Amino acid sequence: MAPTHAVVLGGGLAGMLAASVLVRHFDEVTVVERDKLPDGPSPRSGVPQARHAHLLMSGGARAIEALLPGTLDALFAAGAHRIGVPNDLVSLSAQGWVPRFPEMQFIVSCSRGLLDWVVRSQALRDNKISVLTGTEPVSLLGDRDAVTGVLVEDRISREQISLEADLVLDATGRASRLPAWLEDFGLPAVHSESVDSGLAYATRIFQAPPTAASGFPIVNVQANPRDPFPGRTATLLPIEDGKWLVTLSGTRGGEPSTDESEFVSFAGSVRNPVVGELIAEAEPLSPVYGSHSTANRRMFFERLKSWPRGLLALGDSVATYNPVYGHGMSVAAQSAQALDAGMAAGHSEQQIQRGIGKVVDGAWAMATNQDILYPGAVGKPLPLAGRVLQRYVDRLVRTATTEPPVTRAFLEAFTLSAPMANLMSPKVFLATMRGPRSAAPEPTLTADERDRVTG
């Protein structure tokens, strides 16, 4: 029998995780990537969002570790921080300060460049995976019933070759052309939805003071979407090499500027000034980078009645989320696990795509139900049931500021470590209905942590 072959389009995080799964089920895997891939944690043009804060939630971290054992140790050895949640987290949620209870979950905090490089190195240790860099897909081969490969083109020589494949998986991210290719096959337009709060990001890297270069918490001031003004946030992440990566954001009408002289004052102008205070004297190491690629946008591939054999999509090419929730990479990792489970069970590509849609559901609901509340948000208004759920979540997050069992349930859901449905379990529901039983905590940065920065 001829060896079986899978092609992955896009060599980003989702593409590398998908390749690491497919190599268990096919004899060879070829990754087709537009960029030249750097041999180190450097930024590259195909992942411009890598300049900005990227939190890897524990749910996603565990998924990556299950797919590529040893990745977390490799990340920590390379300088990533393991942030216990909520003990190492200073966070003003929409409903108040999150208390620093003993660890319930964790976040991996490092630059996105480091994360991608470590995951890529782990995946490419398997020599049955090869990468065609500087290469782009032109069109799919096959027809509406079955995809049989992909026509690709070298970006410099413009030479085209046909890659025959038993499976083609699209992981080219938010600019994916898969919906257009499906229409070229004569399939109906893919149903899509979007909710856009008009959010903009501005990010700058600082040298952390030597006394705060390690063991410092993530500091995060979130917005309250019910405020009658744009939502603004400020987040400080400890990353590798004793640096802080600080990301500011603002929804429509409240966007941060990329003017360097306004960075610290914006950070101090959000609902609590703590991030602005911490970076007031810190040495900047980079310019301010901006991003507007922040809308929630979902392609409901799983709803197409007919889906070609030999085709799948995963990662941002399926759905993107407002990045302040920090879920995109974790959903990609858990989708790769769904891919593995579906392939192992012998499911059809259509069934596997539906499984990936189920993974997307939770993060999609969490982000869009909040974002539609921001002033000027563009998207379909929520039905009554959705508005009732929003009120319940507000109350739950408020209750989580004092009641540990609710804090735990909330953090499990927020880090994508447990299904959203757990937020409706009888125990959590009753505690949420009772509400907070003590006064909400005060700002949670300790005097010692502040002293390590301000002296």
Ligand X SMILES: Cc1cc2nc3c(=O)[nH]c(=O)nc-3n(C[C@H](O)[C@H](O)[C@H](O)COP(=O)(O)OP(=O)(O)OC[C@H]3O[C@@H](n4cnc5c(N)ncnc54)[C@H](O)[C@@H]3O)c2cc1C
Interface residues with ligand X (CB under 6 A) are: 9-15, 32-35, 46-47, 49, 52-55, 136-137, 171-173, 175, 201, 291, 293-294, 315-316, 323, 326-330, 332
Write down the least CB distance from residue 151 to ligand X, Å: 12
CB of 137 or CB of 308, closer to ligand X = 137
d(CA 33, CA 12): 8
CB of 219 or CB of 428, closer to ligand X = 219
Q: Would you state the torsion angle of the CA atoms of residues 443, 446, 449, 455, taken in this order, to the nearest 10 degrees?
A: 90
378 forms beta bridges with 196
CB of 34 or CB of 452, closer to ligand X = 34
Write down the least CB distance from residue 129 to ligand X, Å: 15
Write down the least CB distance from residue 426 to ligand X, Å: 31
Q: Is 160 helix (H, G, I), strand (E, B) or coil?
A: strand
Write down the least CB distance from residue 149 to ligand X, Å: 15
CB of 75 or CB of 406, closer to ligand X = 75
CB of 72 or CB of 428, closer to ligand X = 72
CB of 150 or CB of 431, closer to ligand X = 150
CB of 230 or CB of 328, closer to ligand X = 328
CB of 203 or CB of 399, closer to ligand X = 203
Write down the least CB distance from residue 335 to ligand X, Å: 9
Write down the least CB distance from residue 349 to ligand X, Å: 18
d(CA 436, CA 296): 31
Write down the least CB distance from residue 398 to ligand X, Å: 24
CB of 314 or CB of 431, closer to ligand X = 314
Write down the least CB distance from residue 37 to ligand X, Å: 8
Write down the least CB distance from residue 105 to ligand X, Å: 14
Q: Both tokens of residue 400?
A: 């989580």
Q: Both tokens of residue 26?
A: 């096919």
